[in-house]
Structure 1
Amino acid sequence: MNTNTQWDVNKALTLASLFHFLYGAGNACTIPFLTLYFRQLGLTAPLVGIIIGLKHLVTSLWAPLCSYLAKTHNKRKVLISGSLLCSIGASLLLTVVPPLSKDIVYKYCNVSQHPHQLLMANQMPDVSVNNPSTMGISPASDDKTLSSTESLGMISKDLVTTGKPMYVTFKISSTINIPSVINGVNDGGTGIQQVTDVPPGVTSDASGKEVSPKGQMLQTAFVNRSVKPTSSPTTDIMNIKEKFEENGSSERNTNFTFYTAPVPLTETVYVFRNLSGRWERAQDVSSQLLQGTDFLDSEHQVFLMVLGAVVLWELLAAPLGWMVEDSLYEYLDFVDAAEKYGNLWIWSYLGASVGVCSVAIFVDQLSCFLSSNIPRFAVHFYGYAMLLTLTLIVSVFFPIHVSRKNEHVNKTVKALNLIGSDGRTILSAVTVFLTGAIGSTVQNFLFWQMQDQGSNELYMGLSVAIGLIAEILLYIFKSKLLKALSGGGTVALSLSCLAAQLLYYSFLWNTWAVLPIQIFCAFSNGALWWAVNMLADDIATPGTERSLHLVLQGLSCGCGASLGSFAGGFVVKSFGLAVLYRACSITLILWLILFLIVQSKLPRQKRINYSRLLAADSSDMSDSDDDKERDWLVKAMKDENFSRNW
C-alpha cells in the first residue's frame, strides 16, 4: 500500500480477517489429512515421521529468513503473491505420486464402511467369498445343499441388493495350465470356482483384453478337474489342497499370488474365461512409473518423490505466514492500532473449522478413485488450490507497510538473551518444546488411530473443528482464567489436560469416541500459549514482546515438532500407537511434577515496561490518597524483585 494514501484501519482489518479466514480454510483442507494420504500411498510410520519432521524443520529455519530478506528489500507484496501462486502448483504435485498398490488405497478408503475391518485385516487380511458370512450373507441351512452355481448366484444377488463393497481374495497360479474357456459351471463339472472382483483396466486373459468394459464382473477358474464338486466352495478348497499335497509334483511348487480388490457391485456380469497364468500383465500404474530406478524398492521410491514434493511445497508456502503477519503487525503498529492484531487468529480458526468439515463431508461422498489412477484424496489438494486462489485475489488489496528506515537490531537474538536471563521463562521454553514434540504425535498419527477404528473423514474433520471452536469460546474467559490461576497454574492445568487427552487416545473404542475429549484442546493448546505469552511479557523490553512470542513458537512448532515427528514414527512401528500415547502421557505427568517443584523455587522477577505504562489511559491512574499504594511507581520502588527498564 502506498504510504501517501489515507490510512483506513477498518478496511485493513476487514481484508486481513478475510485473508486469514480463506488461508486458514485452505490449509485445513490438506494439512490435517496429509499423513492419511501418505498412509494410502503405502508409506510406513517412520517414513511419514521423517517427511513431517523435515517439513517442520524447513518451516522453522526458512520462513523467518525469507521474511527478513523480503522486508529488507521491500519485496513483501511480490513475494506474498508469488508464494501463494507457487504453493498451489507445488501442492498439486503430490496428486501425481502413484501409490504402491491400488489395493492399499481400497483398503483404507473403504474402512469407514466396514468398522473394525482394518483391525481384523492384520490377522485375516483377505475376505474370501468362501465365507459368505463375512460379507453379510447368511450361510445355507443344513437341510439344503447348494451347488456352486447356486452359491454364486446367491452371493452375487445379495451383494447387488445390499450394495456393500466386496472384499474378496482370489488365487491365481502362474504354472498350472488352466483348461480352456468353459461356458457353464457344471459341464463335466468338476472344479472350484471363486468369485473375483476385478478393478477397471485389469487384464486377465492371454490376449491382454480387459475382462469387462464395466470393470465389474465375476470370474470362474477351474483349477483342477480331478476334484469332484462338493456342497460348498470351502470343501472344494480343502480338496484341492489335499490333492496338491498328494501329488508332490510341480504343483507343490506352484506360486500363488493373492489380491484384494474392494469394489462396490451394482451389476453382476458372469464372464468365464481362461486364466492361463497371464495375470502378471495386470500391473499397477505405480510399478510402471517406478521401473527406471532399480537400486531402490518401490516404497523408498515413493518416499523420495513425496519428500521432494513436500520440501518444495514448504519452501514456497512457509514464508507466506511470516510475511503476512509481520506486514500486518507493522501496519497496525504504525497507525497505533496494534492491540487489534491479537484477535485476527479467531478468523483463521473459524476458516479452518469450516474448511476441514466441508472437505471431509464432500470427500466421504466420493468413490475411492476419481478416475483410474487418481484417488479421491486428491480432492483435498483441489480444495486447497481453490481457496488459495481466492486468497491470492484478496492479497492484491492486502495492506502492506513499507518502512523508510531499516532496523539493524536483531530482535531474535535479543529475545533469546531475555529468555536465558530468567528462570521462569527458561522453564516455559522447555515446556513448549516438550509439548510441541508430544503434540506432533497427535497431529501425525491420531487420524491413523481413528482410521483403525473405522472412522471416516467426517469424524476426523469434526475432531479438529471441535478443538478450534472450544479454544475460541474459552478465549472469552481468558482474563478470568489467567487471573484466577496465574501463569504457572494455567500451564500446569494445560499439561494435565494434554496428558489426559493422550491417555484417552490410547483407549479409543469406536469411530466417534475421540470427539468429546477434543474440548480439552482449549486448555492444552489455547490456555497454554496464553499463559506462556503472559510470562514472556513479564520479562519483555519495549519492542521485544512479539519477538519473544515468535521464538517460543519456533521452539515448539519447529524444533519440538520436528524432533517429535522423527521419533514418533519409529515408536509407532516398534510398539504401536497406543504405547506411544501412553508413554507421552506419562512423560507429561513427570514433567508436570518437575515443573511445579522447580517453579516454586524460582523467584518471580517482573520487569516494568514504563513506555507501555505511560501510554496507558489516564483514567486507569488514581489520584486519591487511598489508591496511591496501587500506583505502579510506588510498587516498583517498594518491591525489590522488580527491575526497571526504560
Structure 2
Amino acid sequence: MKRNKQIDIKRAVALAATFNFLCSCTRACLLPFLTLYFRQLGLTPAMTGIIMGAKHLISLVWSPVASLLSKHYNKRRAVINGSLVCSAAVALVLLLIPPTDVHTQSSSCNMTNQSSGLGDDLLMSSVQPETFSTTAHPKHLVSQPGVTVPAKTLADPESATTSEASLYLHADNRSHPRPSQENVSIVVNDSVREPTVSGSAVYPAIGSSAAALRNKRSDLKSEELPGGETPEQRSRFDFLGSLKAMDAQHQLFFLILITVSVWEFVSAPLEWTADDGLYEYLDFADASDRYGSTGLWRLLGAACGVAGAGLLVSQLSCLIAAQTVRSAVHFYCYAGLTALALPAASCLPLYLNRKRDRANGLLKAAQLVRGSPRALLCASTTLLVGVAGSAVENFLLWQMADHGSNELHMGLSVALALLSQAAFPLLAPRVSRLLSPGRLLALGAASLGLQCLYYSFLWGPWAVLLAQVLSCLSGGALWWAVKVQCEEVATPGAERSVGRVYSALSLHTGSGLGSFAGGFVVQTYGLAWLFRGVAAGLIVWCVCLLLLQWRAPRQRRINYSRLLAADASEASDSESEQERDWLDKAMDDDGSNNNYGRRINH
C-alpha cells in the first residue's frame, strides 16, 4: 500500500498522454509535407526516395541503440530533452539551404496583390511545365489564391540526368513586360532554346556558350587559389570541394541528405527512450495495462497537427517575409510545438528497471516470430505494408498537387485517414466476431491496395477524401490483427518486444526499402504507375496470404491459468463425495455430543 500511495497513476497517465499528443502533433506539422518541400527545392523523385529511405534506415538502427545507451548510463531524461532541442534546431537548418536553379519548382500563387517586383519574379519562376511544352492549355497559367501547385511529375526513361543552367528572368514589368501565355521562352546566356524534360521536372537546354562560360569561370577560380593548388587537388581531402565540382542539383541533394541524416540521428532516440521509461514506471506501479491509451493520443495529436498546419499555410500569402516562402511555416510550427513539449518532457514520469534486458528481449521476440509459421506470414505482410505505405507517405501529396490540391486539402485528407484509423477500436468487438485475425490482416492489406489504386486515378482536389475512410481497415484493422498475433506468439511479458519487431519491419525496414524503390519507379514510369504497381502487388499477396494461412499449422499456446482451473475442477469432481461424507459425519458427531451434554445437565 505504501508504494501505491507514492505513485499517482492518473497524473502519470495524463502527463504521458500530453507528451505523446504534443510530440505527434509536432511531427505531423512537418513530416507529411517534407517530400513536397523537397520537390519545391528542385529534387527529383529518385533523390527524394534516397533521402527518405536513408532516414528510415537510420531510425531502424539508431533508435534501439540509443535507447539502450540511455538506460545503461541512466540519462533518459537528458536524452529526451536533448533530442527535442536538437531536432528543432536541425530542422530549421533545412531552411538555410537555397533551392537549385536547375529548374523551377516554386509554389504557384496568386501574386496580383503583390506590389513589389519580387512577386512577379516568383510568378515567373513558378510557371507550370505544360506552358513550356505546349500552348494548347493556357488554363495552367491561371493560379488560384493560396494554391501550392509544384511542377507536374513526368516520366522520361531515356533521360535521368539533369543539366545545369541559369535562368535570367526579368521581374520589372516596366522595363521588361511579362511574357504572354501564347509565347513563353527561356533566355539562357543570350540564346533562346526549347526546354527539355528530364526525370520529373523541366530543365532548360544548355548551349555551347553556357558550357564555355562555366569552364572559363572555373579556370579563373583555379588561378586565384594560393600556393598554386588546383580545385581537384584540394577536393581530395575536402568534401566541400567535391560538392563545388558538382552541378547545382547534386549539391542540393547531398546537402539535404546530410542535414536529414543528422536530423534523424538526433530525433530517433526520442520515441523509444520515452516509451521505455514510461512503461517501466507504470509496470513498477502495477498499472502497465494503462500504457495502451498512449497510442490513441498519438493518432489524435497527429491528426490535429497535420490539419492545423495545412489550414494555417493555406491561408497565408506566397511570401511571409522578403525572401521566405510560406512552406517555411511548417518548420516554424515544428520548432514552436517542440518548445511546448519541453515542459511535458521535464515532468514525464520515468523509471529505470535494470533487471529488464531489452536487447535479449528483442532477440527472443525475433526467435518467437521466426518459430511460428503464422507469425512469419504476419511479418511478411507488415513488411509489404511498409513498402506500400512509403509510396503513400512520400508521393501522395505529389499526386494531389498535380491535380490542384493545396495544403488545406492535403492536411485534411491525412487527418481524416488518422481519425479513421483511431476509430477502429470502437468497431473491433463486432468485427472480431465476424472475421478471424488472419482474415482481418488480409482485409487490411487489401484495403491499402484499393486505396493505392484509387490514388492513381485522382481527378480533383477533394477526390482523395473518399479513399481516406478506408484507413479504418488498412491502418486500424491491420494493426489490431498484428496486436492479436503478438499476443498469440509472445510468452508472458514479451508482448511489447514482439510488437516492436513487427513495427520495425513495417515502419522502418519496409518503408526504407519502399522509399528507395519508389523514387526510381516514379522517376522512370510516373506517379500513377507507382500506385498501380503497389496496388497490384498487395492484392496478389492477399490472395497468397489466405492460401498460406489455410495451409499453415495452427499452434495453440498453453494457457496455464485455464489448465490449473481445469485440474481444480477435476479434483473437486472426484473428491466431492468423500468431502461430503466427511462433513456429514462431523456434523452428526457434533450433534450427538451436544445432545449428550444436554441430557447430563437435565
TM-score, normalised to structure 2, is: 0.75
| Distance change (3 Å), C-alpha of 1:409 and 1:47 | closer
Q: Which moved more, 1:449-458 or 1:355-364?
A: 355-364
Measured in 1, the distance between the counterparts of 2:548 and 2:178 equals: 75
| Distance change (3 Å), C-alpha of 1:478 and 1:294 | same
CA displacement 1:489-513 (0-9 Å, x = unmatched): 1012112211111110010001100
Q: Does 1:583 align with 2:568?
A: no
Q: SS of 2:469's equivalent?
A: helix
| Distance change (3 Å), C-alpha of 1:20 and 1:9 | same
8 Å CA contact 2:399–2:527 kept in 1: the answer is yes
Q: Does 1:23 align with 2:23?
A: yes
Q: 2:467 aligns with which of 498, 509, 517?
A: 517
Measured in 2, the distance between the counterparts of 1:365 and 1:216 equals: 27
8 Å CA contact 2:9–2:282 kept in 1: the answer is yes
| Distance change (3 Å), C-alpha of 1:526 and 1:613 | farther
RMSD over equivalenced CA pairs, Å: 3.9
- After TM superposition, the structure 1 = structure 2 runs for residues 476-555 of structure 1, keeping only pairs within 5 Å, are 476-555=426-505
Measured in 2, the distance between the counterparts of 1:418 and 1:516 equals: 39
Structure 1 residue 5: deviation in Å?
8.6
| Distance change (3 Å), C-alpha of 1:610 and 1:375 | farther
| Distance change (3 Å), C-alpha of 1:623 and 1:516 | farther
| Distance change (3 Å), C-alpha of 1:517 and 1:527 | same
Measured in 2, the distance between the counterparts of 1:105 and 1:30 equals: 19
Structure 1 residue 442: deviation in Å?
0.6
Structure 1 residue 366: deviation in Å?
1.9
Measured in 2, the distance between the counterparts of 1:164 and 1:386 equals: 23
Measured in 1, the distance between the counterparts of 2:490 and 2:145 equals: 64
Measured in 1, the distance between the counterparts of 2:58 and 2:373 equals: 29
Q: Does 1:219 align with 2:175?
A: yes
Structure with more helix by fraction: 2
Q: Which residue of 1 aligns with 2:41?
A: 41
Measured in 1, the distance between the counterparts of 2:364 and 2:510 equals: 21
Measured in 2, the distance between the counterparts of 1:131 and 1:452 equals: 15
| Distance change (3 Å), C-alpha of 1:216 and 1:474 | farther
Measured in 1, the distance between the counterparts of 2:107 and 2:548 equals: 49
- After TM superposition, the structure 1 = structure 2 runs for residues 419-430 of structure 1, keeping only pairs within 5 Å, are 419-430=369-380
Measured in 2, the distance between the counterparts of 1:119 and 1:13 equals: 49
CA displacement 1:432-489 (0-9 Å, x = unmatched): 0011011100100000000000100111111111111112222112133223201111
Q: 2:132 aligns with which of 109, 125, 135?
A: 125
Q: Which residue of 2 aligns with 1:54?
A: 54
Q: Give unpaired runs (5+ residues) of structure 1.
A: 137-158, 168-198, 205-214, 224-231, 239-252, 260-279, 281-289, 629-646
Structure 1 residue 360: deviation in Å?
0.9
Q: Which residue of 2 aligns with 1:94?
A: 94
What is the one-letter code of the residue matched to 1:569? G
Measured in 2, the distance between the counterparts of 1:601 and 1:558 equals: 29
Q: 1:472 aligns with which of 416, 422, 438?
A: 422
Q: Which residue of 2 aligns with 1:256?
A: 192
| Distance change (3 Å), C-alpha of 1:127 and 1:593 | closer
Q: Which residue of 2 aligns with 1:262?
A: none
Measured in 2, the distance between the counterparts of 1:434 and 1:496 equals: 11
8 Å CA contact 2:306–2:414 kept in 1: the answer is yes
| Distance change (3 Å), C-alpha of 1:501 and 1:132 | closer
Structure 1 residue 298: deviation in Å?
0.5
Structure 1 residue 120: deviation in Å?
9.9
8 Å CA contact 1:72–1:406 kept in 2: the answer is no
8 Å CA contact 1:118–1:452 kept in 2: the answer is no
Measured in 1, the distance between the counterparts of 2:529 and 2:139 equals: 33
Q: Which residue of 1 aligns with 2:302?
A: 352
Structure 1 residue 135: deviation in Å?
6.2
Measured in 2, the distance between the counterparts of 1:19 and 1:93 equals: 25
Structure 1 residue 44: deviation in Å?
0.2
Q: Which residue of 2 aligns with 1:333?
A: 283
Q: Which residue of 1 aligns with 2:551?
A: 601
Q: Report the identity percentage.
A: 42
CA displacement 1:54-107 (0-9 Å, x = unmatched): 000001110011001111221111111111111111111111111114973534
Measured in 2, the distance between the counterparts of 1:613 and 1:297 equals: 71
Q: Which residue of 2 aligns with 1:211?
A: none
Structure 1 residue 598: deviation in Å?
0.8
8 Å CA contact 2:437–2:481 kept in 1: the answer is yes
8 Å CA contact 2:131–2:138 kept in 1: the answer is no
8 Å CA contact 1:119–1:452 kept in 2: the answer is no
Runs of 4+ in 1 over 6 A off after TM superposition: 117-120, 130-136, 162-165, 611-614, 621-625
8 Å CA contact 1:40–1:108 kept in 2: the answer is no
Q: Which residue of 2 aligns with 1:399?
A: 349
CA displacement 1:609-634 (0-9 Å, x = unmatched): 537998xxx9xx99999xx9xxxxxx
Measured in 2, the distance between the counterparts of 1:387 and 1:408 equals: 31
Measured in 1, the distance between the counterparts of 2:139 and 2:22 equals: 48
Measured in 2, the distance between the counterparts of 1:72 and 1:623 equals: 45
Measured in 1, the distance between the counterparts of 2:260 and 2:141 equals: 39
Measured in 2, the distance between the counterparts of 1:596 and 1:164 equals: 47
Q: SS of 2:423's equivalent?
A: helix
Q: SS of 1:399's equivalent?
A: coil
Measured in 2, the distance between the counterparts of 1:203 and 1:527 equals: 53
Q: SS of 1:256's equivalent?
A: strand
Structure 1 residue 530: deviation in Å?
0.9
| Distance change (3 Å), C-alpha of 1:135 and 1:473 | closer
Aligned residues: 496
What is the one-letter code of the residue matched to 2:191? N
